[in-house]
Amino acid sequence: MKVSLASVSTLAVAALLAGCSTAYADEAPAAAAAAPAPAATAEAAQEPLTPAGAEAFVARAEKELEELSIEGSKAAWVNATYITLDTDYLAAKAGAEFTEAQVRLAGQAARYAEIEGLSYDTKRKLDFLRQGIVAPAPDLPGAADELSTLLTGMQSAYGKGQGTYQGKPTPGVELEALMGTVRDPKLLQEMWTSWHNNVGAPMRDDYTRFVQISNEGAKGLGYADTGALWRSAYDMPPAEFAALTDKLWSEVKPLYDQLHCYTRAELNEEYGDAVQPETGPIRADLLGNMWAQEWGPIYDIVAPEGAGDIGYDLTGLLKAKKYTPVQIVKTGEGFFSSLGFAPLPQTFWERSMITKPEDREVVCHASAWNIDNKDDLRIKMCTQVNATDFVTVHHELGHNYYQRAYNQQPFLYMNSANDGFHEAIGDTIALSVTPEYLAQVGLLDRNKIPSAEQDIGLLLNQAMDSVAFLPFGLLIDKWRWGVFDGSITPANYNQAWNDLRLQYQGIRPPVERTEQNFDPAAKYHIPGNTPYTRYFLARILQFQFYKAACEQAGWTGPLHRCSFYGNKEVGERLNRMLAMGASRPWPEALEAFTGTREMSGDAMLEYFRPLMTWLQQRNQGRKCGW
């Protein structure tokens, strides 16, 4: 049950779509990720530099972006559901127009942002206009072109990148899959090393230059550096936000440490001391994933005997009841209807792409859309009748209901409270696909709900993905924040990366690395320049939302077994948060649903408590840590 779904959300892209995918899936769709800043920013706006002028500028900017976003969405939709040379052209053109407007308006917004006496909304919207660009170009001749060329070049190099498998050149997608299934440490080492050497190392100079230019651009917009620009999107001073992520990590780290300790012992048993010693860090290529970011693929190695079976087979149940893809989506809609949300509009059923058409090329990567920013909701999936897609449908619809809930907000507030929230909502709903829920919707016989003894397998399986991911989700931007603010210099880029991998994940590369290497760029989001902290936040928040919903529903059993299906009070409170969009600082949105203004890892700890106890017993007598 892998539900690591993700959206790309620069403001531009978020306005166009909430993109998701179903496996290893914080990979952004390639087209959406390429949003370099192509135009100069200096052109002055026509409104005077006064509070009233700023307000008028914001109103005009908002109207322009909204119109462009609708055109962009229509072009992107037809492109994603009917890929041809012509629709590629139309989508790229619409995307470039949106980005051009965004860059121009960001530069102008930076001037208005300095005016004294701005209203709350004007100030907030000016900030959003400035923060919409992930890689700003400075206002210098040729800088925007150079930045765009660097980013496009790195993304293209990554996309074409190859490692080797048994000496044969092999594309990244295939290597990623093989890392999950191959169990020969020599081959794992070959794939890991060739990928990191071939793809990462050649990008070092371009990345170094990219950091310089985008930092200058960030300064032009009024931020200390690009990392500070990214962190400024969290309604608090950038340094305070960095401290908040540290706090969250310190809360969940004890659980990660136990999982690390147990997994290391199982790997030691599987491979022996020469490959994986009993103590120290885990060898990075043994964890079933190119970046050791999610360990689900090696569940077979760590699964406890007798407790590995989760007790029911959702795919089998769906097939036995002869579910169709449309029925699965109807079931997902039913979840939200049971909470009191209005049914999806008729146009959703007419316009969505629920299954893969046979007569044309499409993008199967699952995503949720609101084309007109009002009620033209759609999903795009190549839905199969199986457990993974059953969960994915619930996740995607979470995006759609969020989009519809904030459709009364002004355009610049049509977004989640912070960029972790959109994904977290979908994942909260996905967590709710419990045996209890399956019984409630008639898929599982009530007398076949698995007993509590079978929970350890279920929880361990989940933890191998969601708990294992946490330190990785955090350290990618720890590294980039340091690179952007200069505390990590080009002379120690790789050392700093591997130090963070050791410090947070407790892993080490399978072979020695030097500054000839550039391992960070072997992960898509570095050349793709997609901020990553949102994925860390989403993993934490989804449990917090889930716990709040379960408490409101009066659930008294173990948290991981809860279902809040059918509870109108939960729906009402959830809607209160969703309807706020990005109009208020995120702690207020969080409070509207959960009653607290603090993000916290406690709910995640509670969810996994039975597993924590079990891991501590298994780890007794072991020297945990690294």
Binding residues for Zn ion (CB under 5 A): 5, 7, 20, 423, 426
Q: Specify the amino acid at residue 62.
A: E
Between 259 and 366, whose beta carbon lies closer to Zn ion?
Answer: 366
Between 170 and 367, whose beta carbon lies closer to Zn ion?
Answer: 367
Question: Can 365 be counted among the known catalytic residues?
Answer: yes
Give the nearest distance from C-beta 320 to Zn ion in angstroms. Answer: 29
Task: Reduce the DSSP state of residue 165 to 3 states and report it.
Answer: strand
8's tokens: 């790309």
Give the nearest distance from C-beta 267 to Zn ion in angstroms. Answer: 31
204's tokens: 């070092």
Residue 124 near residue 159, CB atoms below 8 Å: no
Between 25 and 521, whose beta carbon lies closer to Zn ion?
Answer: 25
Give the nearest distance from C-beta 423 to Zn ion in angstroms. Answer: 5
Active-site choice (196, 260, 525, 560): 525
Give the nearest distance from C-beta 395 to Zn ion in angstroms. Answer: 6
280's tokens: 């120290």
Which residue bears the tokens 């600082």? 585
Between 376 and 423, whose beta carbon lies closer to Zn ion?
Answer: 423
CA distance 224 to 484: 9
Give the nearest distance from C-beta 20 to Zn ion in angstroms. Answer: 3
Active-site choice (62, 176, 423, 436): 423
Residue 474 near residue 504, CB atoms below 8 Å: yes
Active-site choice (32, 366, 538, 592): 366
Active-site choice (27, 294, 396, 436): 396
Give the nearest distance from C-beta 388 to Zn ion in angstroms. Answer: 14
| E strand or H helix at 170 | strand 168-171
CB under 8 Å, gap of 24 or more: what pairs does 490-498 form? 490/204, 490/208, 491/515, 493/204, 493/208, 493/518, 493/520, 494/518, 494/519, 494/520
Active-site choice (27, 55, 262, 365): 365
Residue 509 near residue 495, CB atoms below 8 Å: no
354's tokens: 């629920």
The CA-atom distances, in angstroms, between 98 and each of 39, 104, 374 are: 11, 10, 19
Residue 367 near residue 18, CB atoms below 8 Å: yes
Between 20 and 429, whose beta carbon lies closer to Zn ion?
Answer: 20
Active-site choice (260, 395, 422, 560): 395
Minimal CA–CA distance to 286: which of 374, 214, 188? 188
Give the nearest distance from C-beta 578 to Zn ion in angstroms. Answer: 15
CB atoms within 10 A of CB 171: 13
R_g over Cα of the chain: 24
Question: Can 112 be counted among the known catalytic residues?
Answer: no
Active-site choice (535, 546, 565, 607): 535
CA distance 89 to 108: 29
Q: Which residues contact 123 (CB under 8 A, 6 or more apart)?
A: 113
DSSP 362-399: ---S-EEEETTSSS-EEEE----SSHHHHHHHHHHHHH
Q: Which residues contact 557 (CB under 8 A, 6 or more apart)?
A: none
Question: Can 66 be counted among the known catalytic residues?
Answer: no
Residue 457 near residue 304, CB atoms below 8 Å: yes
Q: Specify the amino acid at residue 196.
A: H
Between 20 and 615, whose beta carbon lies closer to Zn ion?
Answer: 20
Which residue bears the tokens 């074409």? 160
Give the nearest distance from C-beta 302 to Zn ion in angstroms. Answer: 27
Question: Can 260 be counted among the known catalytic residues?
Answer: no
CA distance 496 to 387: 40
DSSP 22-49: SSSTTPPPHHHH-----S---PPPSS-S
Between 20 and 317, whose beta carbon lies closer to Zn ion?
Answer: 20
Active-site choice (399, 521, 524, 582): 399
Give the nearest distance from C-beta 21 to Zn ion in angstroms. Answer: 8
With CB atoms as reference, the residue minimizing the distance to Zn ion is 20
Residue 373 near residue 26, CB atoms below 8 Å: no
Between 235 and 427, whose beta carbon lies closer to Zn ion?
Answer: 427
Give the nearest distance from C-beta 18 to Zn ion in angstroms. Answer: 6
Minimal CA–CA distance to 242: which of 251, 254, 232? 232
Between 207 and 341, whose beta carbon lies closer to Zn ion?
Answer: 341
Catalytic residues: 365-366, 395-396, 399, 423, 525, 535
